[in-house]
């Protein structure tokens, strides 16, 4: 008997034995998901956002979504379609955001979502990028005369459920031998209303979200962000595991904006780099190499992305700088920050 014939016989015997014992036959290999194909067929990227956080994702007076998260969605659309406007923004809550991604209602999620081990290991997700290095903080009314989180012993604290902030809050008070009473409210709008009405002494959330909230108040100076940052909260874009083609596009769309900033390429001057002889710039512009082909994109995908969305500094300046938040650790690595793009080659 030939080796192939023997293998076939053994395979048939194994299936027969499994059937006799009432065992399920081994499942056939499933084809890889094609999120990019589905997006192209649909004609738009479905992107899950918060939709109510200034600086991150919030419709303006004309109904156009503005913010760093909204722009992360647009950057991916620009890479795939060459058109940053081919995005359908879908508002999600802290409670339903992961279900929306798991079910396929959204292709990706960019919703002030913290990258954690449990979310990658147990929910079937991968974090492709970090567009904001954040940390959890506290806000109080200046009239309270509280200037440090260590003065909050016995305080009532407004907090959202279903987020990392609940666990961080408990850990911080326990580790410092302090007591607190949580006021747990799911809706962002309701929790902010409760804080303004005096139902809680302090409001805890990511420091960026607190700064966003303060910036939208009539008298922002009435509110104080306490100096303590009690956690690491790397926020970014989340996709489903298994579709590495889409994962690569989401990741490298962000890296392209960081690379453009490093190279001095902006939305205003990108066209002028077309004849630049720097090898790194030639590859970035699609004039040499096959980087676009490797990603399944057009050769000039990065050019179109930057022309429409700008580099990362431009994204930051139009969305986060107005909140009064310093760039700090979100600077490029060359300026002492954590934003670092691998080589595009």
99-118 average pLDDT score? 96
For residues 310 and 193, state if they share a domain.
Answer: no
pLDDT value of position 202: 98
Looking at the structure, tell me whether residues 239 and 226 fall in a common domain. Answer: no
Both structure tokens of 27? 């499942």
- In a domain, residue 12? The reply is no
What's the whole-number average pLDDT of the chain? 91
Mean pLDDT to the nearest integer, 30-46: 88
Q: Strand, helix or coil at 241? A: coil
Structure confidence at residue 19 (pLDDT): 41
For the chain, helix, strand, coil in percent to 5 are 45, 15, 40
Do 221 and 141 meet the contact criterion of CB atoms below 8 Å apart? Answer: no
Residues 210 and 251 in one domain: no
Q: Which of 15-19, 325-329, 333-337 has the highest mean pLDDT?
A: 333-337
Whole-number pLDDT of residue 197: 96
Do residue 161 and residue 297 come from a single domain?
no
Look at residue 31 and give its three-state secondary structure.
coil
Each residue's pLDDT tens digit, 247-306: 999 999 999 999 999 999 999 999 999 999 999 999 999 999 999 999 999 999 999 999
- State the pLDDT at residue 161: 86
Q: Assess if residue 95 is contained within a domain.
A: yes
Report yes or no on 7 lying in a domain.
no
Kindly tell me if the per-residue pLDDT of 234 is higher than 80.
yes
pLDDT tens, residue by residue, 217-228: 999 999 999 999
Domain identity same for 109 and 160? no
Strand boundaries in 76-190, DSSP class E: 87-91, 108-109, 125-127, 132-134, 136-141, 155-159, 180-184
How confident is residue 162, by pLDDT bands cut at 50, 70 and 90? confident
| CATH at residue 99 | 3.40.190.10
Give the pLDDT score at 17.
38
The answer as to whether 173 is a domain residue is: yes
In which residue are the tokens 């595991």 written? Answer: 241
**Do 106 and 179 belong together in one domain?**
no
Query: Interior CA angle at 233 toward 231 and 237, to 5°?
Result: 170
**pLDDT given for residue 324 in this prediction:** 84
Residue 74 counted as domain residue: yes
- Out of 232, 262, 288, pick the residue that ends a domain: 232
Same domain assignment for residues 123 and 43: yes
Q: Are residues 105 and 189 in the same domain?
A: no
Q: What average pLDDT does the segment 154-168 reach?
A: 90
* Average pLDDT value for residue range 97-115: 96
Pairwise CA distance, residues 79 & 149, whole Å: 43
Match 């031998």 to its residue by tokens: 177
Question: In the listed set 232, 254, 279, which residue is the last one of a domain according to the structure?
Answer: 232
Do 127 and 49 belong together in one domain? yes
Is 107 contained in some domain?
yes
> Which residues constitute the domain of residue 49?
35-134+235-326
14 within some domain: no
User: 183 pLDDT exceeds 60?
Assistant: yes
What pLDDT, on the 0 to 100 scale, is given for residue 186?
Answer: 86
DSSP state of 30: P
List strand residue ranges (DSSP E) for 112-232, in order: 125-127, 132-134, 136-141, 155-159, 180-184, 202-206, 223-225
Q: How many domains does the chain have?
A: 2
Whose structure tokens read 């990706």?
108
Which tokens sit at 89? 């923004």
Residue 76 shares a structural domain with residue 163:
no
Instruction: Establish if 60 belongs to a structural domain.
Output: yes
pLDDT at position 5 over 90: no
User: Do residues 121 and 257 both lie within one domain?
Assistant: yes
- Return the higher-pLDDT residue of 323 and 281: 281
Task: Read off the tokens for 251.
Answer: 């990741």
Q: What percent of the chain has pLDDT over 90?
A: 83
Instruction: Sort 26 into a burial class: Cβ within 10 Å, 0-12 / 13-18 / 19+.
Output: exposed
Confidence of residue 115 (pLDDT cuts 50, 70, 90): very high
Q: How confident is the model at residue 32 (pLDDT cuts 50, 70, 90)?
A: low
pLDDT at 4: 44
DSSP 138: E
Residues 129 and 39 in one domain: yes
């Amino acid at each position: 008997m030939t080796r192939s014939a023997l293998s076939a016989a053994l395979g048939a015997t194994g299936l027969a034995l499994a059937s006799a014992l009432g065992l399920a036959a081994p499942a056939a290999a499933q084809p890889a998901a094609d999120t990019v194909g589905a997006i192209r067929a649909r004609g738009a990227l479905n992107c899950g956002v918060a939709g109510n956080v200034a600086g991150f994702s919030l419709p303006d007076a004309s109904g156009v979504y503005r913010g760093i998260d909204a722009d992360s969605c647009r950057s991916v659309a620009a890479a795939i379609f060459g058109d940053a406007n081919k995005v359908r923004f879908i508002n999600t809550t802290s409670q339903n955001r992961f279900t929306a991604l798991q079910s396929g209602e959204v292709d990706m999620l960019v919703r002030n979502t913290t990258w954690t081990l449990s979310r990658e290991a147990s929910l079937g997700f991968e974090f492709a990028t970090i567009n904001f290095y954040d940390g959890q903080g506290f806000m109080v009314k200046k009239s309270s005369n509280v200037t440090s989180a260590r003065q909050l012993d016995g305080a009532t604290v407004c907090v959202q459920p279903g987020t990392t902030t609940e666990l961080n809050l408990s850990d911080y008070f326990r580790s410092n031998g302090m007591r607190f009473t949580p006021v747990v409210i799911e809706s962002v709008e309701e929790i902010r209303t409760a804080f303004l009405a005096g139902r809680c002494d302090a409001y805890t959330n990511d420091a960026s979200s607190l700064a966003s909230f303060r910036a939208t108040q009539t008298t922002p100076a009435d509110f104080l962000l306490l100096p303590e940052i009690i956690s690491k909260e790397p926020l970014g874009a989340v996709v489903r595991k298994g579709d590495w083609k889409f994962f690569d596009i989401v990741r490298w769309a962000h890296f392209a904006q960081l690379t453009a900033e490093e190279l001095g390429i902006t939305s205003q001057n990108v066209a002028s780099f077309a004849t630049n002889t720097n090898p790194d710039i030639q590859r970035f512009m699609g004039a040499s190499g096959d980087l676009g082909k490797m990603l399944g994109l057009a050769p000039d995908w990065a050019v179109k992305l930057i022309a429409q969305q700008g580099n990362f500094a431009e994204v930051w300046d139009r969305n986060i700088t107005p909140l009064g938040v310093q760039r700090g650790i979100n600077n490029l690595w060359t300026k002492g920050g954590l934003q670092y793009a691998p080589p595009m080659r």
